[in-house]
Amino acid sequence: MAKPAMYLHIEGFEGFDKRIDFDKKRVRKGMQKVGRIVQREGRKLAVSGGDYPKRKAGLLARSIKVKVSRSGFLVRIAPQKIAGMRDFYPAYLNYGVKNKHGGWRIRPKGNYMADALERKQDDVRHELTGALDGALSIK
């Protein structure tokens, strides 16, 4: 399974001889905000049914967590194993489970986290551009 990711390039700073510095507090705040945006969308998709999992106890939706890296320039939004989960079943939902006869016991479900990022791509780009613009200082 390919890991979904988004790459943001800000043009106009190529060839600078000066040092570009960011206010890490503002960058972390922006990353936290976009993480919450994608988390909310992922939680909606995780309980929607159809090609995605369907809500039973709500453990899957509650397991989606946001973690900003120590440097503040990376955010990870993914399901984690939480209390109440006997096994890490988001993996079972993604890959599916076959029975002894080769048929599907649990059919693979859609990748709700990749689709959440794709759906909110414009919001993420807008928020990150604003956060990085506000955090930038050239020395």
Residue type, 75: V
The tens digit of pLDDT for each residue in 37-71 reads 999 999 999 888 888 888 777 888 899 999 999 88
The tens digit of pLDDT for each residue in 95-119 reads 889 998 989 998 888 888 999 999 9
DSSP output for 23-77:
-HHHHHHHHHHHHHHHHHHHHHHHTB-TTS-B-SSSHHHHTEEEEE-SSSS-EEE
pTM beyond cutoff 0.85: no
Domain-wise residue ranges, the chain: 22-138
